[in-house]
Amino acid sequence: MLERLKEFNRLSAAFNQARSLPTLSDAILACLKQMNGCARGGVWLRPYRSNEPVLMGSFGYDDGSSPMPQVHNAYNLLCAPLCYRESILGFIQAEAHDSTSFDELSQELFATLANQAAVALENARLFADVQETYVETISSLANALEARDNYTKGHSERVTQYSMAIAQVINLESERLQILKHAAMLHDIGKIGIKDIILNKNGRLTQDERATIERHSVLGDLILGPCTFLAGVQKIVLHHHERYDGLGYPEGLSGENIPLEARIIAVADSFDAMTSDRPYRQALSLKHAIEELQKGAGTQFDPALVEAFLSWLSTHHLLTHIAGKASEAA
């Protein structure tokens, strides 16, 4: 009994670290499996901003997608709602071996588990709410930046699209995709601190003006600094202008010392810059932009990522998409 309690407490402590529904579901299922005599179990959780609970996971059933209990007596099936204040956020189910019952300790553990899981689920939902609010706020700042200059309208969205396309080709791990998406959307956020007279200068920049522009990645790092949950994004924003050969800024990192997501954004950012009009030049043709990417592979860009992007380009009708940007600006 003591060992069961210790293991149950250890597993339930993981609830405090759960920040996503799959992680929380896995922790709950691990606890259910530790209940004496538990043969089958399931977890239904209500996703963020949804009214209907969905089955997140189960064990012990032939068809894990639709666990149907077999009630043999009053105590072989336990089911409890996950209630927080007046809201039902989901429910959990545990089923004993056929023709057996859960003992009193298991019933008490199950009730405790339901209470802890409800609090953890509400915390996860609040965390998601805070994340969304932060990202929406900072994205609004990024949109405000682009509104200062019609030449960069839609730039962040396109860089995000291209970055996610590269990630798809190289099979980037799923847990890194959201970080990449946020970083691509916010990669130029530091330009909010650059004066319009420099940012939109119609002509060649002086050495001092160039140095000011290059500070935008550091400024972006400073802007995102207070958002602790965006720490991974912050690092990518800081380094998205590093070069593969070490001649970039702000720290002169090279090769794989540059975060992978920053290397992805570097390719996407450069491609969109080349295929968009600027105050000092017209957009390059698609053919010319591809040639420039190939020329920069191994020096400015990670060659494997250039190859991945060009592979994606060859299978998508990007000419129509790029032409559509002109009508957006109009």
| pLDDT tens figures, 282-313 | 889 989 999 999 999 999 999 999 999 999 99
Q: What percent of the chain has pLDDT over 90?
A: 37
Question: What is the reported pTM?
Answer: 0.66
Q: What percent of the chain has pLDDT over 70?
A: 85
Question: Which of these ranges, 9-18, 63-72, 147-156, 170-179, has the smallest mean pLDDT?
Answer: 63-72
CB-based burial label for 245 (10 Å; 0-12, 13-18, 19+): middle
The alpha carbon of 151 is separated from its chain's Cα centroid by a whole number of angstroms, namely 28
Q: Per-residue pLDDT averaged across 161-186, rounded?
A: 93
* pLDDT for 326 beyond 90: no
DSSP 67: -
- The CA–CA distances, whole Å, from 265 to 127, 153, 219, 303 equal 27, 17, 17, 13
**In whole angstroms, what is the distance from residue 178 CA to residue 158 CA?**
16
**In whole angstroms, what is the distance from residue 240 CA to residue 191 CA?**
13
**30 vs 153 pLDDT, higher one:** 30
Q: Which range, 64-73, 236-245, 309-318, has the best average confidence (pLDDT)?
A: 236-245
- The CA–CA distances, whole Å, from 141 to 90, 130, 250, 278, 328 equal 36, 17, 22, 21, 20
Q: Per-residue pLDDT averaged across 64-91, rounded?
A: 75
pLDDT digits (tens, 9 = 90+) for 238-290: 999 999 999 999 999 999 999 999 999 999 999 999 998 776 678 899 899 99
Closest CA to 226 of 130, 297, 326, 94: 130
* pLDDT for 152 beyond 60: yes
- All structural domains of the chain, each given as residue ranges with its CATH number in brackets, are 2-123 (3.30.450.40), 148-329 (1.10.3210.10)
Bridge partners of residue 84, in order along the sequence = 87
The alpha carbon of 155 is separated from its chain's Cα centroid by a whole number of angstroms, namely 20
Phi, psi at 4, each rounded to 5°? -60, -45
pLDDT of residue 150: 61
Q: If pLDDT is split at 50, 70 and 90, which confidence band does 181 have?
A: very high
Q: Indicate the SS3 state at residue 323.
A: helix
Active site residues: 191
Q: Per-residue pLDDT averaged across 19-39, rounded?
A: 85
Mean pLDDT estimate for the chain: 84
